[in-house]
Structure 1
Amino acid sequence: MVKKLLLFFVLVFGAYPLLAQSKTVTGTVTDATDGSPLPGVNVLVQGTTTGSQTDFDGNYSIEAESGNVLVFSFLGMKTQSVTVGASNTINVSMQEDAEQLGEVVVTALGIKREEKTLTYAQQTVRADELTATRDPNFMNSISGKAAGVEIKKSSSGAGGSTRIVLRGNKSLSGDSSPLFVIDGIPMANNKGGQPGMWGGVDSGDGLSAINPDDIESISILKGSNAAVLYGSQGANGVVVITTKAGKSGKTTVSLNSGYTFEHYLELPDLQFKYGANGNAKESWSTTPGDYQSSYVEEFFQTGHNFNNTVTISGGNDKTTAYFSYGNITASGITPENKYQKNNFTFKQSTKMFNDKVTVTSSVLMALEETKNRLPAGYYLNPLTGLYMFPRQRNFYDFKNNYEVFDNDRNLFAQNWFVVDHHQSNPYWIVNKQPKTDESKRIIGSLSLDYEISEKLKLQVRGNYDYAVKEFEQQHAATSNSTNVHPKGAWDYRKYDDQLVYTDAILSYDTDLSDSFSLNGVLGASYQKTVYGDGVSVGTGTIGLLYPNEFNFQNLPTNVQVSSTYDGSVIKQGAFANLQLGFKEMLFLDLSGRNDWASTLALTGNDSYFYPSVGITGILSEMFTMPEAVSFGKLRASYTQVGNEVPFNRINPQNTIAGNGGVDRNTVKPFLDAKPEIITSLEFGADWRFFQNRLGLDITYYSLTSKDQFIQVPLLQSESEGGYTTKFINAGEITNKGWEITLSATPVQTDDFQWVTAFNFTNNTNEIVDIGPDDDKVINLGSSEGYQSKLVEGGAFNDLYVLKFLRNDQGQILFDAGKPLRTPTTELVGNLDPDWTLGWNNNFSYKRFTLGMQINGKFGGNVFSQTESMLDGAGVSQRTADARDAGGVTVNGVDQTSGAAITTVDAETWFRAIGDRNGVGEAYVYDRTNIRVNQLSLGYNIDVSKLGLPISAASLSFIGNNLFYIYKDAPFDPELAMSTNQNAQGLDNFNLPSTGTYGFNLKVTF
């Protein structure tokens, strides 16, 4: 009887779901980051015990009713709830939950730590933030996304380099760039040649070899406190790049394909109303006309950028693999400027010996070719002739016939209206003076991880980074005679850079008791870097044997093919880190590294120890906080580390001159050298409120850099052996500043979310001591009205220019009707901003996403030699306005007679203050600018309705550097003429700033 009753109840209640229209719901759960399937995801019908799990390929099947809510949960992912509707298929894409993961971040040497335990400032930029707008150089995408990071893009066009500085300039004679690290291993980021005020070409940098689609995340370790384990290499901070790896489960194939077009944002304000007097080169006629203007805009073309990456990822619980191929094909906004890059990446990881040993290998190969990057400066720059062309002439006579046949010389010659030291036919330059850069780079690495025990692990890594670079520029006969021989000229360089690195790291992680934890790291490293091993030749004004034959066989006998300036540096280091934790609320961090550097060989000072100590306390764990406080901690750290010792400082060598002779070294060997020492003190606070929907991270830092490498003249008693100068350790620089990040999620509902973040930076630089020089000045270079120099009591990037000579009342002094200028340059400002702000916003509504970034730089100054030259030639709009107004209104006085001067003839005024060696004060502008820097509008496609084997797909509109909200300067202050340390904020016929717009499609199979 009992069995019959049980059978009755089973039948009744078993049929109940059928009466409620139960059905089978199936689908696939994927990782939102890369679209890969997620095995082991729990799927539960809310309010019931009915549940399921995804299989190895991320698939699941569960019985549910229409109106039921399915809850998807997985460790490290945000739990999602989806209501069952009419469809029997529900696919879910899950997002990472940083809070659930304990916010694990990648730190020095690739070591992963919980963010709450760090004693220093660190910020992470995710992969989707790097690739959202498809900038070919991924570092440009970081601008405004992290506090304390200064990024400037080269003005050279497609394939140009990028300048990155963390927390200000720190070295008087060296570089202030951070160390770049891939998967824990240092990489070379050597820059080639850089332009100056008179000319030159940007030769790119090493960062361009990395495919942004291969990057998982970037951790920015801003201070030496965070980077002390890298020793002197990490003195300027470290950018830690973690690349993607294969994932176990179903093999996934992803395509990320983008197209953007590029257009200039603005051109100089030029006049086309007044031409030249007669056959003059300058346009100073006072008779108005209606002259051609369209040729300036026609010179600039629409740039195109095709950016495609295919990735394949998969594996099982023992072996995973990742492969990607990336291609960029781009053309710039100037004729014949082209950029081509092919990336190949393979990464494989295998577990063996009962998962105790993991072997990981990777290979990255990059092939790059760049043609006709635009130079900066006066010479061999097509923009000089384009902008300054006399208005009454017909430009199209020279555009359409940029070369004409010279019967006397039996060759095609440049067609231009004048032989001038800085003007050439723009179309001759881009077609008959071609420049080509080629780079082939391969980075191979191998690591072995051995889990000795649950607490003790050993990692051994090796890396080989090899790059071959080739540069060629041909100058056809009849090019600019100031720089080029009448028979033409040839510049050629081919050299290779190599970096060999290996390290061994032993790590120990344990709980000493219920209250205390210990995490220790002990290791050693070896690194050898070889710079510029190759050949070079440059004929310059010596010329060629026969016109327009550009090869080694056509070199005159007095032109020497010489070895490039090569050298090798070896660094060896031993390092240790100990972190003690108390009840997950108080952490003490001790680090130390000893470096042995070959650059200090022969000095007796080649061994140096660098210590660091830090402490962090999680106040929200120590004390009872108000309900609104989700998390709160304070941190402090102190570090002393040496800066990189520049190569060839200790024992400078003779070099081979271009004519085959020897340039004798005149710098005395520096046999008692010490490394520059940077002492860093940092305090910070990290607070989060309202269940982590509001966050505030504040850091104050103070850096002092001493024992700079300064070159000084020898005393007469020291001038022996032909030496005239020597290096000394002297000088002191300080950088003090604030970094503030305010993040918030103001709105969060089931369908809509708004996440916003502000990154604020202020850095104050001071040159405290310049060394024993009586003048307390180090001249870095000058250029006709502008001077770059370091002055004790001043700051890096102080701006010195010629000014108007004024009396005590501020009136401009005149002589013979012309304004006077100061005999020497004077301080007028600083090229660095007072503070910067990046405002990042991300909105999501159902399947739509919107990302927008606004960047602002406030304060500081910039200088434009372009505007000075345009004024001197009478081609700027302001010179036309002055002619229309009958002259320039001034507040002046004749220095002899004392007579007031209120109006000056336009030509007299602008010839006096403009052109070369003009009054630079008139061409100094406020650097302040605010712009919409990035924009992306995307839609996540519902792939379940496509009936295709696609697991995820998205389509987005993307844009970079879209428009200015405010700007004072007549050019883009954030576009660098050169990415060298002392050439920021300067404009000398720079390429116009550009904006990019386009579309991107991402599909995962």
Structure 2
Amino acid sequence: MKKLPICTYRISLYLVFYVLFSPWLTEMVLADTRIKIEVMLRNGAFQSSVKGVVTNKEGEPLMGVTVQVASSKRGTITDLDGSFHIQANPNDSLIFSALGFRAQTVVVSGQKQIHVQLEEDVTQLDEVVLNAGYYTVSEKERTGNIAVIKAAVMEKQPVGNPLAAMQGHLSGVNIVQNTGVPGGSFEIAVRGRNFINGVSDPLFIVDGVPFGSQSLAASRVSSEIIGGGISPLNAINPNDIESIEVLKDADATAIYGSRAANGVVLITTKKGKSGKTRFDAHLSTSLGRASHFLDLMDTQQYLEIRMEGIANDGLADLLENPVFDFFWPDIKSWDNDRYTDWQQELIGGTAYRNNAQLSVSGGSVGTQFLVSGAYQKETTVFPGDANYRKANIHGNVNHRSENERFRMNFSTSYTHEDNRLPGADFTLKAYSLEPNAPAVYDDEGNLNWENNSWDNPLAALEENFEARINTLISNMLISYAIWPNLELKSSMGFTSYRLDTHRAMPSSARNPSLGLTPQNYSNLTTNASQRESWIVEPQLNWRERWNNFSLDMLVGTTFQQETTQQLVIRGRGFPNNELVHNLATAETLEIISDVDSEYRYSAVFGRINLNLSGRYILNLTGRRDGSSRFGPGKQFGNFGAVGLAWVFSEEPIFGESSLLSFGKLRGSYGTTGSDNIGDYRFLDTYTVSGDEYDGTTILEPTGIFNPQFGWESNRKLETAMELGFFKDRLLINTSWYRNRSSNQLVGIPLAATTGFPELRGNFDAVVENSGLEVDLRSVNVRSKGFKWSTNFNLTVPKNKLVAFDGLESSTFSNRYIIGQPLTIVKLYHALGVDTQTGIYQFEDYDGDGNISSSGDLEWVEDLAPKFYGGLGNSLTFGNVTLDVFFQFKKQKAYNTLRFDATPGFKGNVPVELFDRWQQPGDENPIQRASSGFTTVEDLGSYQQRSNAAVSDASFIRLRNISLNYKVPTFDNGLDVNVYLQGQNLWTLTDYTGPDPERPNNTRLPPLRQLTLGLQISF
């Protein structure tokens, strides 16, 4: 056989190789080519510039819309005029999304200009992200109870404290303002009072940093004028807040363990947004007046009652004897035709508040910043030049790396407050000063003492109270994505709260007839307090998704330390009143309080969240806490919760045409705790009394060692249903809860012979809070020229003492009853006025023939609200927006009889006491008049502690109204808003006291305020 040439073999081999391997080679070459093309695409080799504008259906530009390239993580945000600029491939798709609008995807298709109109979405529950503290969750998929108030609502209220902005807006959150004096305190309770003793305040966290809400004010320095304390939350500017979330049930709070028994309040401040640098200026001025005056007696009524009381006591003859004129100067010395409206004179002034704020924000997609500064000055309704000034600066920097693995957020705020007030609240004097009292100044402009016959109320202006407060809050959050689904992060925070107060009381503030001098009376009390805290919280978060199943795991640890110092010193005996502010010139110095304490806290916490098809959700949270506030063997506690949710509207039975657009059943159960009982309470403690014995300083015992001192526990149970109708235009959330607090830390008072004031320990007492909460949101009208939405919330709470072993034999037997709320008061049962004697009558419960506190205080009244809530409506007509919010409460409270029940005493009283008994047979509700100078039977003090002194104090209050006008401008980059706001403008109530929400005759009620403001953005 003839051999073929060698070249023929080679050609044949090549053909076989080509036939067998060419598809693989072709694929390899194509794959390599694709990789190169993808790299080139990522590097922008084939990309072009795409510009455009995003508007709503009315053609108004939308700022802050996220524009993202679907094939990458690259994105941008629209500017003030709705414009955007981004690099994209010809075949890419752009995703446009913004809160409150339906997301829209647009294919570039080689276009250079794209105009997009976004349609409004009523709620978009998937995109409403709630801050749950250590994690975030969409409103649709949350398993816990989280109430939220946004900046848009707070900005419409002329208030200086975040708690004031929250009043009435959140179900399950009851907030009461203690005083109308600027810088005063508030009371807040989330789902009621859980503990017999101790603090009811929730845990406050500002940008991830725990912030102490308890005042460091000393009672001997400031309690009278400031209303029980100075709220540290005054340092947080409401205009700097983006949102406030309140965590209420076990699922939401258990991850905070021992600090969450009373709920958690999360305050998130504003952050910068990418885009052009934006300047925002905010100017406002407010006028404030006392919201209500009491109906008091005029001069003729007052003198008639006074003379009648003197006659009833058999002292008419002494009235004619000049020797006894000093007993009744209001009758014998003062002008009986004179009348002064002391409410108008002492609390009838106008308070002015001026507020200015400027902020700068902006940045790129990777780095955003915000810096804002604000200044506020507020006066009071009192006479004099008292004022409150506050200046604060807030800054935030947010950065993420180009590959989005590294993220950093730093926020800080610093606030300086200077509160200068008179030495006393004039409110009590305004209610009680005689209507014919002399003029406050004589003809020469000096304080008029009218021959030393009265205490001139304006002498309190000679006294001085001042509080200087410096607050620093800073936080840094650093995170790094080790893998796409594994993130390591750490939160680090530091807070410093410094309070310096003093109260100067010169002898010139007292009646000269007392013979007081700077050497024997003038005194100065100072309080220097500081609280510093640092916290570090490393965390590891892992997320994974498999088809319809997702898993989210979080584990972290907490290290926190807090130190508190307080030094209260009183100086006495000054050379003269001009030196009363200089402690170095005092003759004697007395240390009232010297506190130096340290609190250490550590914890390990975790969360596991399982989500199946977006329908079935399981959330597990847990925490193990360690606190230095408990003794050996009792320092650690375990807390945890389970939350379940079924989004049944995702089931196939509910289609697109269903009226029910959203439906969810959820429930939770778990435990939280409390260590908010002060430092070193389990140890033997002593204090320096300030007294001496034979030249030796005396130590007084204040606490007894108790090694069994342990955690308080709070078990929380909740079930809830959330419904949405008409594509979520109507949302209704209903929750039922029951919290049971046990292992109560109670201070049992001890007999004085023991040498100790009380024994604090855990007692087998159980307090239960249960209730129903309803939240409703609706979009009633949504058209091109008119929008109308409504918000409504209702809370029906119930509190009771379930168990307390040995209550009947304890010192608490006169305060609490098993089965009754902790908020009850025990009173005498008033039976009216005896028609023959004209004296108040009361039920003799123990049948011993006498009325006494030991056996006849058996009438029970509950002073807690039966229900409370709020109703708000927002209406927009073109460029005009009107917001109206009403707050309501159903409750009882002490009326004016609590403070005055017997007519005829020296000092003015409400005119209702004029309807008194005068002769046998009269059936008037007020007993006979009395001068108060004799031992004639007078049961007025019993009437003040009877059920007659309690009446209905329900109210509906126009808490806030806001009218905003957006001024049309030719320059699209300029936004101008003019607004008029009112706070506490009108109250519908049958209550006749100073204020139904804070019925206290000794403190100034919250003011009625009207604010005019201007906002400019460019």
Q: Deviations over 1:454-510 (max 9, x none)?
A: 111111111110111101111110545899985212110112111111101111111
Fraction of identical pairs, as percent: 21
Deviation at 1:182, TM superposition (A): 1.6
Q: Which residue of 2 aligns with 1:627?
A: 658
Q: Name the aligned partner's letter for residue 630 of structure 1.
A: S
Q: Which residue of 2 aligns with 1:552?
A: 583
Residue 927 (structure 1) aligned with residue 953 (structure 2): yes
Tell me, yes or no, if the aligned pair for 2:977 and 2:1015 is still in contact at 8 Å: yes
Quote the Cα distance in structure 1 between the aligned partners of 2:906 and 2:648: 66
- Quote the RMSD (CA, aligned, Å): 3.8
Q: Name the aligned partner's letter for residue 967 of structure 1.
A: D
Q: Name the aligned partner's letter for residue 636 of structure 1.
A: G
Tell me, yes or no, if the aligned pair for 2:505 and 2:524 is still in contact at 8 Å: yes
Deviation at 1:58, TM superposition (A): 4.9
Residue 613 (structure 1) aligned with residue 642 (structure 2): yes
Q: Which residue of 2 aligns with 1:243?
A: 269
Q: Name the aligned partner's letter for residue 605 of structure 1.
A: K
Residue 226 (structure 1) aligned with residue 249 (structure 2): no
- After TM superposition, list the pairs within 5 Å mapping 1:266-285 onto structure 2: 266-274=292-300, 275=303, 280=327
SS in structure 2 at match of 1:116: coil
Quote the Cα distance in structure 2 between the aligned partners of 1:688 and 1:740: 14
Q: Which residue of 1 aligns with 2:1003?
A: 990
Q: Name the aligned partner's letter for residue 311 of structure 1.
A: S
Deviation at 1:349, TM superposition (A): 2.0
Deviation at 1:862, TM superposition (A): 2.9
Tell me, yes or no, if the aligned pair for 1:759 and 1:838 is still in contact at 8 Å: yes
Deviation at 1:800, TM superposition (A): 3.1
Q: Which residue of 2 aligns with 1:137?
A: 161
Deviation at 1:748, TM superposition (A): 1.8
Change (3 A) 1:282 1:157: farther
Q: Which residue of 2 aligns with 1:372?
A: 421
Deviation at 1:852, TM superposition (A): 0.4
Quote the Cα distance in structure 1 between the aligned partners of 2:617 and 2:188: 31
Deviation at 1:1002, TM superposition (A): 1.3
- After TM superposition, list the pairs within 5 Å mapping 1:89-128 onto structure 2: 99-100=123-124, 102-128=126-152
SS in structure 1 at match of 2:579: coil
Deviation at 1:538, TM superposition (A): 2.6
1:842 pairs with 874, 880, 883, which one?
A: 874
Change (3 A) 1:475 1:757: same
Quote the Cα distance in structure 2 between the aligned partners of 1:158 and 1:869: 34
Q: 357-366 or 678-687, which moves further after superposition?
A: 357-366
Q: Deviations over 1:54-82 (max 9, x none)?
A: 866756499xxxxxxxx99644452699x
Residue 187 (structure 1) aligned with residue 211 (structure 2): yes
SS in structure 2 at match of 1:657: strand
Q: Name the aligned partner's letter for residue 774 of structure 2.
A: I
Quote the Cα distance in structure 2 between the aligned partners of 1:652 and 1:871: 51
Change (3 A) 1:589 1:919: closer
Q: Which residue of 2 aligns with 1:159?
A: 183
Deviation at 1:124, TM superposition (A): 1.5
Change (3 A) 1:724 1:101: closer
Q: Deviations over 1:60-114 (max 9, x none)?
A: 499xxxxxxxx99644452699xxxxxxxx9999998574461433333341111
Quote the Cα distance in structure 2 between the aligned partners of 1:970 and 1:79: 51
Tell me, yes or no, if the aligned pair for 1:504 and 1:525 is still in contact at 8 Å: yes
Residue 965 (structure 1) aligned with residue 1003 (structure 2): no
Q: Name the aligned partner's letter for residue 377 of structure 2.
A: T
Tell me, yes or no, if the aligned pair for 1:283 and 1:391 is still in contact at 8 Å: no
SS in structure 1 at match of 2:638: strand
Q: Which residue of 1 aligns with 2:974?
A: 951
Residue 351 (structure 1) aligned with residue 381 (structure 2): no
Q: Which residue of 2 aligns with 1:477?
A: 507
1:856 pairs with 861, 865, 888, which one?
A: 888
Q: 741-750 or 105-114, which moves further after superposition?
A: 105-114
Q: Which residue of 2 aligns with 1:19?
A: none
Tell me, yes or no, if the aligned pair for 2:168 and 2:870 is still in contact at 8 Å: yes
Q: Which residue of 1 aligns with 2:711?
A: 675
Tell me, yes or no, if the aligned pair for 2:775 and 2:794 is still in contact at 8 Å: yes
SS in structure 1 at match of 2:994: coil
Change (3 A) 1:887 1:588: farther
Larger radius of gyration: 2
Quote the Cα distance in structure 2 between the aligned partners of 1:35 and 1:304: 37
SS in structure 2 at match of 1:696: strand
Question: For structure 1, which runs of at least 5 residues remain unmatched after alignment?
Answer: 1-24, 43-51, 63-70, 82-89, 375-379, 405-413, 780-787, 893-901, 976-985
Quote the Cα distance in structure 2 between the aligned partners of 1:259 and 1:598: 47
Tell me, yes or no, if the aligned pair for 2:467 and 2:502 is still in contact at 8 Å: yes
Change (3 A) 1:771 1:40: closer
Q: Name the aligned partner's letter for residue 162 of structure 1.
A: F
SS in structure 2 at match of 1:227: helix
Count of matched residue pairs: 891
SS in structure 2 at match of 1:387: helix
Change (3 A) 1:700 1:570: same
Quote the Cα distance in structure 1 between the aligned partners of 2:670 and 2:997: 32
1:307 pairs with 355, 364, 381, which one?
A: 355
Deviation at 1:291, TM superposition (A): 3.2
Q: Which residue of 1 aligns with 2:434?
A: 390
Quote the Cα distance in structure 1 between the aligned partners of 2:769 and 2:644: 22
Residue 293 (structure 1) aligned with residue 340 (structure 2): yes
Quote the Cα distance in structure 2 between the aligned partners of 1:398 and 1:382: 20
Deviation at 1:402, TM superposition (A): 5.4
Deviation at 1:228, TM superposition (A): 1.2
Deviation at 1:176, TM superposition (A): 1.1
Change (3 A) 1:970 1:39: closer
Change (3 A) 1:689 1:724: closer
Tell me, yes or no, if the aligned pair for 2:494 and 2:534 is still in contact at 8 Å: yes
Quote the Cα distance in structure 1 between the aligned partners of 2:369 and 2:236: 19
Tell me, yes or no, if the aligned pair for 1:383 and 1:426 is still in contact at 8 Å: no
Tell me, yes or no, if the aligned pair for 1:735 and 1:764 is still in contact at 8 Å: yes
Quote the Cα distance in structure 1 between the aligned partners of 2:627 and 2:730: 46
Quote the Cα distance in structure 1 between the aligned partners of 2:944 and 2:733: 46
Quote the Cα distance in structure 2 between the aligned partners of 1:530 and 1:523: 24
Tell me, yes or no, if the aligned pair for 1:119 and 1:637 is still in contact at 8 Å: yes
SS in structure 2 at match of 1:225: helix
Change (3 A) 1:103 1:219: farther
Tell me, yes or no, if the aligned pair for 1:450 and 1:457 is still in contact at 8 Å: yes
Q: Deviations over 1:895-927 (max 9, x none)?
A: xxxxxxx99644479994557984544432212
Change (3 A) 1:715 1:397: closer
Tell me, yes or no, if the aligned pair for 2:54 and 2:118 is still in contact at 8 Å: no
Change (3 A) 1:871 1:370: farther
Quote the Cα distance in structure 2 between the aligned partners of 1:366 and 1:97: 39
Quote the Cα distance in structure 2 between the aligned partners of 1:796 and 1:361: 43
Quote the Cα distance in structure 2 between the aligned partners of 1:563 and 1:774: 35
Deviation at 1:639, TM superposition (A): 0.9
SS in structure 2 at match of 1:180: strand
Deviation at 1:814, TM superposition (A): 8.1
Q: Name the aligned partner's letter for residue 819 of structure 1.
A: Y
Change (3 A) 1:119 1:874: same
Q: Which residue of 1 aligns with 2:11?
A: none
TM-score by length of 1: 0.81
Q: Deviations over 1:533-586 (max 9, x none)?
A: 1421135xx6546555322223334x3236632311111000000011111100
Change (3 A) 1:578 1:796: same
1:599 pairs with 625, 629, 641, which one?
A: 629
Residue 740 (structure 1) aligned with residue 789 (structure 2): no
Question: For structure 2, which runs of at least 5 residues remain unmatched after alignment?
Answer: 1-50, 69-74, 86-93, 105-113, 308-324, 843-850
Q: Name the aligned partner's letter for residue 690 of structure 1.
A: F
SS in structure 1 at match of 2:996: coil
Quote the Cα distance in structure 2 between the aligned partners of 1:953 and 1:96: 23
Tell me, yes or no, if the aligned pair for 2:528 and 2:566 is still in contact at 8 Å: yes
Q: Which residue of 2 aligns with 1:589?
A: 619
Q: Deviations over 1:243-301 (max 9, x none)?
A: 1111111000101221110011211211223236565559689x996532345313321
Quote the Cα distance in structure 1 between the aligned partners of 2:115 and 2:911: 62
Change (3 A) 1:27 1:629: closer
